[in-house]
Chain A
């Protein structure tokens, strides 16, 4: 009984929260609903006895959405609504239609796949992290390694993009700006004299 109550609670909460994410014009509401929805999704993993995946969902998405907040803080005023620009109706219809089609396919998939048998059934007695590790380092070893390599590439690219002035101390950079502002003022004064 408790599992059913929990399941319906988590499903309703997830759907409502993600609807808020999609439809709210306030950055703060949208992002908070996104974070809360991610936490609610981890509830499904716990209900399915996939404790490890549930905790990973928590750890990973809490950090990821926190980074999103950092960007939101820089770009938007959190207390005001954002004016959305709707550039092309065709694009919206196309994207919305394809998402609807995709959802229909996802809902049909369990019916189509009812007679599929698992070729790698979970080991008896293995705990959660152990079975994840076994399947990750046997069947899915190559995708795992490729993903690791991609992440490494992305990390190096990020460091190169962000780290142009990394060897200069922050205080020196501020002094540079101060000097250039002084120079600008001098230039402005000269302009005024002309």
Chain B
């Protein structure tokens, strides 16, 4: 077979394995960080520092009975979690993660394979990621409608509301940086910010950066906009009837989406994998991604939930005008 094709398959397996492992590790990190912010210890009993809690959770999820409610729409009920998990990983296929490298020929079987930096090398990466991550919300929507449960219906109604609210903001907030760089390719964004901290798009587009972060929190159902499964109001929303690994797939999808949003924010606004002074590029981007991931946990610990009507009001009446004004000002500046 073509060496590039083998390389792409290797890359797909790597991304799937690493990101799903990170998603599992993310649950541990989230519990630990939240615990320290609330003056607790968090998971501490299983293994050193509670690190093996992930394994315990995994065993619990895998061995739990997979219940499908009696009146539920079986097929859709079973597909829905797969939609969330699959789209989260498909979105990652357009992200440039590491430089292209060739596996030495001394390796058995896979020697000489070229592992590309991007799995699917398309020059409109940003748009593709937005579209695929948007279709990820079909998971909660279908799950809620298929399970013949009032809480589930409420959860899916809120999914539709949330999707229609934040999607406009994501698009409009990214439009201004896209106009500055003049490309939809994430590689071009990275190459436009190679001149150190001063060349970050963050300094030229602070408003767009904040808008994108807010919309990103809504996109990944993180806490200020955690409407879909708001325990205090609608039990567990779309996930009420789910158990076992199907429930787990929703959460793998959610954490993978958090990682994707962190990667997008670091590539588009804060320089991507350009080397940062004495820090090499690959460490720089891992630090940035970790910071954005931590920011999501930090915000969850600090802010209460909002109501659905508050989210709609906030998105349509506050954020959208700001985003449009930002795009117009950017347009005038670019023209001059």
Do they bind each other?
yes
| Identity of the chain A residue whose Cβ is nearest the Cβ of B145 in the assembled complex | A78
Q: Which one of B58-66, B120-128, B223-231 is at the A interface? A: B120-128
Please, which residues of chain B bring their CB within 8 A of the CB of A11?
none
CB nearest neighbor in B for A38: B135
Contact with A along B102-143 (1 / 0, CB 8 A): 000000000000000000001110011011101101100110
A58 near B138 with CB under 8 A, answer: no
Residues of A near B123 (CB, < 8 A) are 51, 127-128
A23–B145 alpha-carbon span in the complex (Å) = 20
Residues of B within 8 A of A (CB): 71-73, 75-76, 79, 122-124, 127-128, 130-132, 134-135, 137-138, 141-142, 145-146, 148, 153, 156-157, 160-161, 163-164, 167, 171, 183-184, 309
Query: Are A66 and B137 closer than 8 Å at their CB atoms?
Result: yes
B153 A63 Cβ-Cβ under 8 A: no
| Nearest-CB residue, chain A, relative to B131 | A58
For residue B121, which residue of chain A has the nearest CB? Answer: A51
For A54, list chain B residues within 8 Å (CB). Answer: 128
CB distance B128 to A70 under 8 Å?
no
Bound together, the chains give a CA A29 to CA B122 distance in angstroms of 32
Alpha-carbon distance A20/B123, docked complex (angstroms): 34
CB distance A32 to B148 under 8 Å?
Answer: no
B73 close to A26 (CB less than 8 A): yes
A73 near B156 (CB under 8 angstroms)? Answer: yes
Q: Once the chains bind, are B142 and A63 in contact (CB under 8 Å)?
A: no
Report the 3 A-B pairs with minimum CB-CB distance, sorted nearest first.
A58-B131, A55-B127, A59-B131
A46 close to B (CB within 8 Å): yes
Given A28-B142, A32-B76, answer yes or no on A55-B128 (Cβ-Cβ < 8 Å): yes
Give chain B's interface secondary structure class. helix
* Also in contact, A79 and B146, with CB within 8 A (given A51-B123, A129-B184): yes
Contacts A51-B124, A63-B167, A129-B184 given; does A69 touch B146 at CB 8 Å: no
Would you give 30 A-B contacts (Cβ < 8 Å), ordered by A? A26-B73, A29-B76, A32-B76, A35-B138, A39-B135, A46-B122, A52-B184, A55-B122, A55-B124, A55-B127, A55-B130, A58-B128, A58-B135, A59-B171, A62-B134, A62-B135, A62-B138, A66-B141, A66-B164, A67-B160, A67-B164, A70-B160, A70-B164, A73-B156, A73-B160, A78-B73, A78-B145, A79-B73, A127-B183, A129-B124
Which residues of A34-54 are within 8 A (CB) of B? 35, 39, 42, 46, 51-52, 54
0/1 string, A75-100, CB within 8 A of B gives 1:
00011000000000000000000000
Chain B nearest CB: distance from A148 CB in Å?
A: 15
Task: Determine if A186 is an interface residue (Cβ-Cβ < 8 Å).
Answer: no
A128: B residues at CB distance < 8 A? 123-124
How far, in whole Å, are A78 and B149 apart by their CA atoms in the complex?
11
Q: A170 an interface residue at 8 Å Cβ cutoff?
A: yes
**A59 and B146: CB pair below 8 A?**
no
Q: Once the chains are docked, how many angstroms separate the CA of A58 from the CA of B128?
A: 8
